[in-house]
Chains A and B, each alone.
Chain A
Amino acid sequence: MEDIEKPFETKELTISMGPQHPATHGVLRLVLNLQGENVIKCTPYVGYLHRGVEKLGENKTYFAALPLTDRLDYISSMNNNVGYVVAVEKLFGIEAPERAKYIRTILAEMGRLSSHIVWLGTHVLDIGATTPFLHAMVAREKILDLFEMICGARLTVSFPRVGGIRNDISQEFLDQLYAFILDFPAKMDDYETLVTENRIWKERTVDIGVISLEEAVNWGLTGGTLRGSGSDYDVRKYFPYDAYDKVDFDVPVGKNGDCYDRYLVRVGEMRQSIRIIRQCIENLPAGPVMADAPKFTLPPKDMVLKDMEHLIHQFILITKGPTVPEGEIYVGSEVPKGELGFYFVSDGTGKPYRMRVRAPSFVHASALTRLCEGGLIADVIANIGTIDIVLGECDR
């Protein structure tokens, strides 16, 4: 009886969460200092997937570094490819033809859809709902099938090229994609019925991981994570690349900066992606898919096998790389996770003197400290899900 009446004491406890933990979306390790169930301090440790992409990029020609970008954010490799080629094109001073721009926009939005589907499924799964995850994976499968149809790969696509895309897409692909996007909003409604007004979901996410607008900008957050706090910063609107200035779409913006608003923003983004894809398919112009810039783009393969001039071009571009103007350039692009930036320092040779990858997940993972402190240990899981990190991109 005496034991029960004694005040219950807690002492500070340090636990290591990860790197093998299913809710950390990869090999992220968090060291949590706990007082009972409250998180006093959260220290993230990253780097388990570090492969030295930046160092490798410095030793490869601009064309050869493209497949490395697939392995950054492996859930939406198409967006990384597009971001990379847009940056390199700006450095070279060339422009892709209209048709290629529209197709790249379609593909980037498909990548965004597939990434957001995975995010939705896993985020909801972490918090305890299994059903949306199973539904979401079915839709993602369809998008991956479509990727397979155009380039033979499902995840690491490497389909866009500097100056355009690898090959033109077929009418069959467009028909299937169109059928998919007509069908998809109904599926979105299904997911939202399961999640949006779900009481358990709202209790786990509303007012969890709140970050104000000023603080979110100061932390360097981008993408849906920033827009949940009320900013409309979207690279697609601020610095339009590809065909984004020719399509009509809205940028969903949250208000409170909590997990629930970030969820609403991303779900809104998925609906906008469908709008963009639909407009691009309907207005898809005819024409070539590679820029006419023989000094900077690889010649068509059938010509290489037939014609001496093209063979020489191919040989020089592959071995030495193109002759690039000296200078430095930073180009950002909107990937599902946030702003992916490439910074190139060119010294006039065919290889970048310095290639820097500004990865959104890297910044978001650092902000976990801010989001988790003062919350409960169960909210750590919600916070990891809501910032939508991929460790391949974080560690590079």
Chain B
Amino acid sequence: MEPLQIAEKLRERFPDEVLDVREFRGQVSVTVRKGKIVEIGRFLHDEPDLYFDYLVDLCGVDYLGKKDKRFEVVYHLFSIKHRHALRLKAEVPETDTRIDSVMPIWTGVNWHERECYDMFGIVFAGHPDLRRVLLPEDWEGYPLRKDYPVKGPAQEWSGFLDVLDRSKKYRQFDWQG
């Protein structure tokens, strides 16, 4: 099916949820409200002539100062059987960074959601194991947000300070006893 047809079909099924449909270089993105993301995902996955069985990627984007709703969660979907693709974007405001997890539909999204939480602080409700994945668990801040400094935080990570302390201590170590 042509991606624009899929977008139309989605708009028919969820008239209140679909906010915007855009095409760029043959790829179609559909912006939706975040409230019914699981139902939308379920529809896209289960409908026989859509059958988006493969979730390629999930990531967050921070539109600080560019859009009213600060974050977007971007789902890239593909159907191996029908060979069509769709990009789904869910708007997430800064005041309420919760969105439902689509893990019941696509299991492989597990670590993508964890990474999105790790990097943007978007909370995926219903995720069974929402911890940081790439950064240490006691890391402060969300690095891929636009207001996070590129050079890193002013205060070094506590784990690194520990290592520095220890190296200072072991420099005094006397091998002769």
Contact = CB atoms under 8 A, between A and B. Distances in A.
Interface of A: 46-47, 50, 52, 54-56, 59, 90-91, 93, 214-215, 217-221, 231, 233, 238, 327-330, 332, 339, 341, 343, 345, 347, 353-354, 356, 358, 362-363, 365-367, 370, 395-396
Interface stretch (B5-13, B34-42, B50-58, B160-168): B50-58
Contacts, number: 94
Given A329-B24, A330-B27, A343 B110 contact: no
A233 B80 contact: yes
A55 B112 CA distance: 16
Given A330-B27, A362-B111, A366-B110, A339 B135 contact: no
Contact of A50 (B27, B110, B135, B148): B135
Contacts of B108: 218-221, 363, 366-367
B11 to A, nearest CB: 20
Nearest to B76: A330
Interface in B74-129: 74, 76, 80, 83, 87, 106-112, 115, 119
Contacts of B25: 90-91, 93, 327, 329
A330 B83 contact: no
B143 interface: yes
B133 A54 contact: no
A356 B72 CA distance: 13
B134 A358 contact: no
Contact of B106 (A50, A59, A220, A330): A220
6 contacts: A90-B25, A217-B54, A328-B29, A345-B61, A353-B61, A366-B108
A395 B135 CA distance: 9
B143 A231 contact: no
Nearest to B83: A238
B150 A59 contact: yes
B134 A339 contact: no
Contacts of A233: 54, 80
Contact of B53 (A217, A332, A358, A365): A217
B4 interface: no
B56 A54 contact: no
B144 interface: yes
B130 interface: no
A298 B134 CA distance: 35
A395 B134 contact: yes
Given A59-B150, A220-B109, A356 B57 contact: yes
B107 A218 contact: yes
Contact of B144 (A46, A55, A347): A55
A231 B80 contact: yes
A339 B78 CA distance: 12
Interface string B123-163: 00000000011111000000110001010000000000000
A93 B143 CA distance: 31
A329 B135 contact: no
A356 B57 CA distance: 9
Contact of A55 (B27, B107, B143): B143
A54 B59 CA distance: 11
Contacts of B57: 330, 341, 343, 356, 358
Contacts of A231: 80
B144 A366 contact: no
Contacts of B74: 343, 356
A358 B107 contact: no
Contacts of A50: 134-135
B25 to A, nearest CB: 6
